[in-house]
Amino acid sequence: GAVVSQHPSWVICKSGTSVKIECRSLDFQATTMFWYRQFPKQSLMLMATSNEGSKATYEQGVEKDKFLINHASLTLSTLTVTSAHPEDSSFYICSAAPLGRTNTEAFFGQGTRLTVV
Amino acid sequence: AQSVSQHNHHVILSEAASLELGCNYSYGGTVNLFWYVQYPGQHLQLLLKYFSGDPLVKGIKGFEAEFIKSKFSFNLRKPSVQWSDTAEYFCAVNHNAGNMLTFGGGTRLMVKP
């Protein structure tokens, strides 16, 4: 099956610094990738839709200046958490579906656990 | 906006017991339906999906789900659970071609050996 890889798997950073998370589709291309956030013991909440070659679409309540998304190629999207604070600590997950295929499920990365201290 | 509800937040079963996890969604149009499982420390894995056709869908590891359009439901079932089924289960729905998913709140299943 299709593989989506996230890097890093976990990261600890100091408050006020920025952290970049990468999401790569390893064996397929995707014009659209999705970024989710999962708080402990809660479900996944869609943060934004990453669009290759254009601006990301953010869900209501998600600060676009705080969570910078860049979709530079058909296989890579990045999420940068800027000026991170402890409340940004969470599990961030990306997903993507192969370009041009209908009726296919989205494939998920393994997630990135961010801890801001 | 569409929403997805999973009625059971925590379920504890003994091995060999039967399992049914409820999932209801609110969107009235055509939907695609999914069940994902997240084992401890691992990423989401697809258990099964429904796009069209037979409303009874069989997935991996002995799981199945039935789409009942009139009830806006897509309940997950397994006749006999195993200890290795201990995990969190998420129902998800999308109603567009962009693969954006709306997730239910998740059900944490614990199977006692």
pLDDT in tens, A18-44: 999 999 999 899 888 999 998 877 788
Burial B93-113 (b: 16+ CB within 10 A, else e): bbbeeebbbbbbbbbebebee
Contact B36 A108 (CB under 8 A): yes
Task: Give the Cα separation of B59 and A12 in Å (integer).
Answer: 37
Residue in A6, A34, A43, A113 to test binding to B, most B beta-carbons within 10 Å: A43
Q: What is the pLDDT of residue A103?
A: 64
Of the listed ranges A28-32, A73-77, A101-105, the one predicted with least confidence: A101-105
Alpha-carbon distance values, B24 to A57, B55, B56, B57, B59 (Å): 27, 15, 16, 16, 19
Interface residues of A toward B, Cβ cutoff 8 Å, are 32, 34, 36, 41-46, 49, 93, 95-97, 102-106, 108-111
Contact A34 B44 (CB under 8 A): no
Q: What is the pLDDT of residue A1?
A: 66
Residue B97 scores a pLDDT above 60? no
Considering chain B, what percentage of its residues have pLDDT values greater than 70? 96
Measured over the CA atoms of residue A71, residue A73, residue A74 and residue A79, the dihedral's sign is negative
Is the Cβ of B98 closer than 8 Å to some Cβ of chain A? Answer: yes
Q: What is the pLDDT of residue A75?
A: 94
User: What are the pLDDT digits (tens) for B53-90?
Assistant: 999 999 999 999 999 999 999 999 999 999 999 999 99
Residue A79 scores a pLDDT above 60? yes
Average pLDDT value for chain B: 91
Distance from CA of A75 to the nearest CA of B (A): 16
Contact B99 A46 (CB under 8 A): no
Contact A34 B99 (CB under 8 A): yes
Residue B28 scores a pLDDT above 60? yes
Residue B7 scores a pLDDT above 60? yes
Name the phi and psi angles at B83, rounded to 5. -55, -35
Residue in B43, B89, B90 to test binding to A, most A beta-carbons within 10 Å: B43
Mean pLDDT of B35-52: 89
Beta strand B87-94 with B107-112 is antiparallel
